[in-house]
Structure 1
Amino acid sequence: MAVAGNSYVIRLTDAHLGWGTYRHTTTRNRRPGEGYIPIPISVSRNLDILNSNQQNISNIYTCRSVDGFFNDVELKASGNIEAGSPYAKQFQGNGNLLLIGDWYAHVGATVGDSVQVTWLSSHHIEIELI
């Protein structure tokens, strides 16, 4: 389980910044403005960041951003790299897929920029564009 002080850094790609439109699937309509923060599988496994495939756990994290744009918003650890895996592959807005995209727009994130995710406690994280 993640504890205060754990962190990781991820470099952003087109898919992270434009999740709603930069996609190779037709499972749902394109929607500009969506974004997500990827979680490398090694981080997900090491810190037990689980998705909803795992029963009796919370995959909801309280998040703030260093720049002050977010203050205690809810992010969901979701997705997986293979069907049925309990390990999450991304953080997304809980019930709002535009949430991370709004933050990316606010901080002026572009392809090649990096985001640092730092745990303040087991289910409270802080994000920063670095």
Structure 2
Amino acid sequence: MYMIVNIMMNSFTSRSMMEGQEIEIIWTIIPAITLIFIALPSLHLLYLTDEIFNAQTSIKIIGHQWYWSYEYSDFNKEFDSFLIPETDLDINSFRLLETDNNLMIPFNTMIKFLITSADVIHSWTIPSLG
């Protein structure tokens, strides 16, 4: 409150700058238009990447605190996949990537992955895809 009163009563304050509605409109409208021009193509691409054309099979992946659960909906099969402890790894194995039950996916088919979590946020990936 002190700062507002001090600025209003100060003789060095330009009275014309106190009511700069034109400049305020300009610096509000121009960034808004810029954001709209960025958002529209991004939303279009977002919806295009979410489309699934003729998925031949679907796999549901559920992340748990220390393991993954997989469900093949077309084959009514499900299993859990746990990390292999470091002491049990072979010399050429990948640490934090080797599991006791690996997910097998069909080659050269469209697959719909439904990835969710049972407790906290998880990141599921296929290492060979980058």
Higher relative contact order by CA 8 Å / sep ≥ 6: 1 or 2? 1
TM-score normalised by structure 2 residue count: 0.26
TM-score normalised by structure 1 residue count: 0.26
Structure number with higher helix proportion: 2
Structure number with higher strand proportion: 1
The structure whose Rg is larger is 2
